[in-house]
Amino acid sequence: MKFDLILSGADVVIPRKGVVEADILITGGRIAGIVERGTAVDATERVDLTGLTIFPGAVDVHLHLGHGNDISRPRVPSDAASETAAALLGGVTSFIPYVMSAEPYENFFEELKRVTEAGARIDFGFHFIIASEAQLDSLPRYIQEFGVPTAKLFMNIRGDEGKRLGLPGIDDGFMFRLLEKLGKLGGMLCPHPENIEIGWALTARMREEDSEGAGGLKTWNAARPPFIEAEAIRRAAYLGRITGTPVYCVHTSSREALDAAFAMRREGCPVLIETCNHYLTHDVNSSIGLAGKINPPLRTADDREALWQGIASGTIDTIGTDHVHRTMASKQGGIWGASPGCPGLDTFLPVLLTEGYHRRGISLERIAALTAANPAQIMGFGGRKGDIAIGLDADLAIVDLEADYVVGPETRATDAGFSIYDGMSLKAPVLHALSRGRFALRDHQLIDDAVGTGRYLARRLPPCSPATNKQ
């Protein structure tokens, strides 16, 4: 048999198993074989990757793909082109952005797919943010027809809090009814967990103490502290148990929130736990200014280390970026006026390999599980993405584990125009990335022909077992 492509000479990271010396055979965009290094086979193209390491392409299941400073959805193909380019530089070969709207998604779903596919360099899915009665009524169609089984709920959108995002307010009754429907339809809730009523009280208090926001990231953390995150996680997870609906805890930022999620899991709640790179690398003392204003806030060094412990122990299931590609212009107005969020796609795998593997000794297979196998399986990409196995899409990220580089404009592609890692020295640059067997990044250069090759993938979730938390 003649194969399309052989990747030879590299070490291959198999999630949950280990690192093997093997050559990868690719045909028709899929992995057709994993053979002993140096095996004689016939192929149209052979690429020598001696000295490099092949990972399953990362699957980022938490990001916001928007247009300019509007994070609700992509409006033109270049929105997808720039941010999927950023994804490839970070080793991400598929992703699932959150789409946000106050109107029913059926009103623009086909246009959303068309615009994103026209610019995307990688495959993608969508999550829908559910905030209205009309959207709640259409949930069966979203799950069964559109293949969008995951719904985000901003638990902090109460009263007028959602006005800046164009969303109506919700309450716990709405969340309960959403959980009921998701449970019956085989869906999953991804709540943004904050008790905003307490947040309002603490924000008013902090504004009195620090009206100019001179305390910066410390002030922001004090206004929205870990306990309001932890309380909301417990509430959502408990209602998830009552309704039989899995709850995916997005962007877990603190020791207290992690402990709350794990405690609810021990009580039998079907809980899955995600954290994000910025919580693993930065804290309230980081000298990044307003670029570091994020929701939930950056926490303390102790919180950061607790998250690393959760990664090492297996408590945390996935890592995402929570990528937001607003520019620094959105960060005007001090800590009280700046928009929350920061980009994270361009540096995703290198940050984790630098801080996790090189600095803390987290195994390569554990990092591959957190960034690829687990999110793919949990979010309904399993059997297509997230692993290196025969029959799966040949979505691969190839890094030089020992090389160093400095993050800057020449290493970024996001149209945000900045990174909280700018000026930092990282290891393990992504030199090559393949999407369905085609190079979309080669020798650290983006391939122009990859634009428009990404495709929308409908999803269906596997069963979630609260007893083992394995899917």
* CA distance linking residue 319 with residue 348, whole number of Å: 9
Burial of 467 per CB tally in 10 Å (0-12, 13-18, 19+): exposed
Residue 79 is classified by DSSP as: H
* CA distance linking residue 198 with residue 200, whole number of Å: 5
Residue 54's H or E segment, with its range, is strand 53-56
Residues 6 or more apart whose Cβ sits within 8 Å of residue 167:
100, 102, 129, 131, 154, 157
Q: Are 350 and 398 within 8 A, CB to CB? A: no
- What pTM does this model have? 0.97
pLDDT score, position 465: 43
CA proximity to 450, closest of 89, 148, 127: 89
pLDDT score, position 467: 29
Candidate CATH numbers 3.30.420.40, 3.30.465.10, 3.20.20.70, 3.20.20.140; the one for domain 57-378? 3.20.20.140
pLDDT tens digits, one per residue of 189-232: 999 999 999 999 999 999 999 999 999 999 999 999 999 999 99
Residues 6 or more apart whose Cβ sits within 8 Å of residue 99:
65, 72, 73, 105, 112, 126, 127, 128, 129
CATH C-level class of 2-55+390-448: mainly beta
CA atoms within 13 A on the CB side of 186: 14
CA atoms within 13 A on the CB side of 417: 8
Alpha-carbon radius of gyration of the chain: 21
Q: What angle do CA 233, 238, 239 make, to 5 degrees?
A: 105
pLDDT score, position 163: 76
Residues 6 or more apart whose Cβ sits within 8 Å of residue 111:
none
pLDDT score, position 466: 34
Q: Are 297 and 257 within 8 A, CB to CB? A: no
Q: Give the length of the chain.
A: 471
Burial of 160 per CB tally in 10 Å (0-12, 13-18, 19+): exposed
Given this chain, do its domains 2-55+390-448 and 57-378 carry the same CATH topology? no
pLDDT score, position 469: 40
How, if at all, do strands 438-442 and 445-446 pair? Answer: antiparallel
Residue 295 has a CB neighbour count (10 Å cut-off) of: 19
Domains of the chain, by residue range, sit at 2-55+390-448, 57-378
Ranges under pLDDT 70 in the chain: 465-471
